[in-house]
């Protein structure tokens, strides 16, 4: 049970920026970019000390945008096959995303997403991951005429090496909205585990999400809180007895970039805090980000930005 709660917690953190009442208009907003960015090249350098030995890993990233502020080409390092993946984005005449294709460094298609739009404004999304792979994810997402995700069914299939045995699981997500078109509840279930999780959302008067509560078998698992600019500012995780296991708080600067995080465990002892320092260009987009744990540098990200 505890392992399941941790799994749900990880999934929640991974999706922490999704499903807001006020969706970003384009990828510039999603990436918190100011001005008309044409290309963004980034090099990430991480200090991987999980085995108590420092080993620096360079992770290049490249985004190319169109004049509408949406990404048309993205290249990034991925641990999957340890390669540089390239994703191409296609849009229809209304600048709506219609197709994405992701290739590995050998030019082999790894996954694809198709988007189909209907006359009433609704949409269906078909996702296939792990093409020509032993691990495959396929999903269908259905949206209403207002663009709200109302139902998603994902199928995960794994085939073990040297065996014809295939393991499958189905994950289903159902969303509910209020009269103001704000997401208020998500129910998530999986075929391989009995417990299901429920996410409940609260908003301010302007429709900005300010709280996300996660329940597993009607027991509180976590609470996420946000500021008026949709950034997470507090995360609280609970144990099986609804006692606080640990909590963290995040702070931001005037440009909306996170500058620090503090936390404490169930005994009130502080969790090692970190801080982030930035260097900016004339458009107030950061060009260098340095992450510190205590006084030790843990990661460095350097960006080169070109504008239209």
The C-alpha atoms of residue 275 and residue 284 are separated, in whole angstroms, by 19
Q: Vertex 231, ends 230 and 234: CA angle to 5°?
A: 120
DSSP bridge partners of 85: 76
pLDDT at 18 over 50: no
Q: What is the 3-state secondary structure (H, E, C) of 32-74?
A: CCCCCEEEEEEEEEEECCCCCCCCEEEEEEEEEECCCCCEEEE
Lowest mean pLDDT among 40-49, 97-106, 192-201, 237-246: 40-49
Asked whether residue 294 is assigned to any structural domain, the reply reads: no
Let me know if residue 194 belongs to a domain. yes
pLDDT, residue 167, reads 83
Beta partners for 132? none
On whether residue 65 sits in a domain, the answer given is yes
pLDDT at position 21 is 45
What distance lies between CA 56 and its chain's CA centroid?
A: 24
**Average pLDDT value for the chain:** 86
d(CA 177, CA 189) in angstroms, rounded, equals: 18
Could you give the 3-state DSSP secondary structure of residue 5? helix
Residues of the chain with pLDDT > 70, as a percent, come to 86
HSE value, Cβ hemisphere, 13 Å, CA-based, for 132: 10
* pLDDT for residue 47 is more than 80: no
> For residue 237, is it within any domain?
no
pLDDT of residue 17: 39
This prediction's pTM: 0.78
Per-residue burial over 100-120, b = 16 or more CB atoms within 10 Å of its CB, e = otherwise: bebbbeeeeebbbbebebeee
- Please indicate, yes or no, if residue 287 is contained in any of the structural domains: no
242: in domain: no
Classify burial at 8, counting beta carbons within 10 Å of its beta carbon; exposed 0-12, middle 13-18, buried 19 or more.
buried
Is residue 23 very low, low, confident or very high in pLDDT (cuts 50, 70, 90)?
A: low
Q: Which domain holds residue 95?
A: 2-226
Three-class SS of residue 192? coil
* 109 found inside a domain: yes
pLDDT(55) > 60: no
Total number of domains constituting the chain: 1
CATH code assigned at 86: 2.40.160
Mean pLDDT in residue range 8-22: 41
- Integer CA distances (angstroms), 294 to 45, 88, 265, 307, in order: 18, 39, 17, 35
The helix (run of H) or strand (run of E) holding residue 7 is: helix 2-14
pLDDT of residue 44: 85
pLDDT, tens digit, 9 for 90 and up, residues 151-208: 999 999 887 665 667 788 899 999 999 999 999 999 999 887 777 899 999 999 999 9
Strands (E), 48-165: 56-65, 71-78, 83-91, 97-103, 109-117, 123-129, 135-143, 149-159
The predicted structure's pLDDT at residue 138 = 94
pLDDT digits (tens, 9 = 90+) for 269-286: 998 899 999 999 999 999
Are residues 303 and 286 in contact, defined by beta-carbon separation less than 8 angstroms? yes
Domain assignment of residue 303, yes or no: no
């Amino acid at each position: 049970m505890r392992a399941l709660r941790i799994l749900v917690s990880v999934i929640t953190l991974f999706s922490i920026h999704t499903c807001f009442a006020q969706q970003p208009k384009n990828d510039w907003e999603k990436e918190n970019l100011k001005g008309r960015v044409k290309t963004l090249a980034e090099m990430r350098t991480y200090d991987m000390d999980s085995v108590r030995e420092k080993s620096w890993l360079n992770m290049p990233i490249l985004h190319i945008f169109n004049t509408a502020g949406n990404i048309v080409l993205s290249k990034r390092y991925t641990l999957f096959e340890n390669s540089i993946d390239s994703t191409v984005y296609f849009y229809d005449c209304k600048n709506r995303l219609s197709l994405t294709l992701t290739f590995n460094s050998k030019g082999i298609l790894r996954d694809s997403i198709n988007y189909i739009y209907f006359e009433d404004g609704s949409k269906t999304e078909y996702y296939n991951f792990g093409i020509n792979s032993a691990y495959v994810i396929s999903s269908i997402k259905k949206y209403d005429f207002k663009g709200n995700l109302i139902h998603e069914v994902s199928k995960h299939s794994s085939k073990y090496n040297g065996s014809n045995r295939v393991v499958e699981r189905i994950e289903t997500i159902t969303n509910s909205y209020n009269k103001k078109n704000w997401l208020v509840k998500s129910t998530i279930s999986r075929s391989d585990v009995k417990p299901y999780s429920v996410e409940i959302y609260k908003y301010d008067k302007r429709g900005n999400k300010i709280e996300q509560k996660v329940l597993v078998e009607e027991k509180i698992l976590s609470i996420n809180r946000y500021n008026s600019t949709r950034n997470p500012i507090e995360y609280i995780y609970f144990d099986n007895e609804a006692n606080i296991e640990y909590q963290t708080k995040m702070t931001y600067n005037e440009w909306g970039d996170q500058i620090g995080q503090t936390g404490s465990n169930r005994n009130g002892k502080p969790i090692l805090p970190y801080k982030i320092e930035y260097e900016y260009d004339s458009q107030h987009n950061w060009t260098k980000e340095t992450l510190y744990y205590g006084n030790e540098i843990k990661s460095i990200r350097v960006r080169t930005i070109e504008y239209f």
